[in-house]
C-alpha cells in the first residue's frame, strides 16, 4: 500500500504560536484528508484537499499532488488545538499517516 509519512511526530507550542505540519506520500492518490483527533478520541474532519489550498479560520492546508506532499498550517494556536493531527490519502481506501501529536501550552 501507499506509504504516508508525517512530520514532526511531536510538537510542543506556546499558545499563540504558528506551526506547519507536513505529510508526504509515496504514490499518486485520489484525494487527501486532514483530521484532528481530540483527547477524547474523536476524529474531526479538517480538510478534504486533493490539490490546491484551502482555509478555514486559523487553519489552512495546501496539497501539491504532483510532488506528493501536503502541508497543514495552524496559526495563533490555542490549547484546544492540542491532539493528534492525521493526514490520510485515498487510493481505493484511506491510508493514514502515523500522525503529529501537538501540545499547546498556555
Partner 1 sequence: DSGVTQTPKHLITATGQRVTLRCSPRSGDLSVYWYQQSLDQGLQFLIQYYNGEERAKGNILERFSAQQFPDLHSELNLSSLELGDSALYFCASSLSGISYEQYFGPGTRLTVT
Convert residues 32-71 into a mask of x (bound to partner 1 by CB under 8 A) and - (unbound). Answer: -x-x-----xxxxx--x-x---------------------
Cell numbers placing 29: 492518490
**Helix H or strand E segment including 91:** strand 83-91
The answer to the question of residue 80 lying near partner 1 (CB under 8 A) is: no
Q: What's the min distance (Å) between Cβ of 105 and partner 1?
A: 24
Q: For residues 6 and 27, is the Cβ–Cβ distance under 8 A?
A: no
In 4-58, the DSSP E strands lie at: 4-7, 10-14, 19-25, 31-37, 43-48, 52-56
The answer to the question of residue 31 lying near partner 1 (CB under 8 A) is: yes
Longest dimension (CA), the chain: 41
Please pick, from the candidates 26, 75, 94, 101, the single residue that binds partner 1 as defined by CB under 8 A.
Answer: 94
Site residues (vs partner 1, CB under 8 A): 30-31, 33, 35, 41-45, 48, 50, 86, 88, 90, 92-96, 98-99
Amino acid at each position: 500500500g501507499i506509504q504516508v509519512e508525517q512530520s514532526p511526530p511531536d510538537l510542543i507550542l506556546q499558545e499563540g504560536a504558528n506551526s506547519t505540519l507536513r505529510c508526504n506520500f509515496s504514490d499518486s492518490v485520489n484525494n487527501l484528508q486532514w483530521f484532528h483527533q481530540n483527547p477524547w478520541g474523536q476524529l474531526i474532519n479538517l480538510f478534504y484537499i486533493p490539490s490546491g489550498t484551502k482555509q478555514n479560520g486559523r487553519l489552512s492546508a495546501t496539497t501539491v499532488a504532483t510532488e506528493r506532499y501536503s502541508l497543514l498550517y495552524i496559526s495563533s494556536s490555542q490549547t484546544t488545538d492540542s491532539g493528534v493531527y492525521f493526514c490520510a490519502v485515498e487510493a481505493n481506501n484511506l491510508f493514514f499517516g502515523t500522525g503529529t501529536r501537538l501540545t499547546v501550552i498556555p
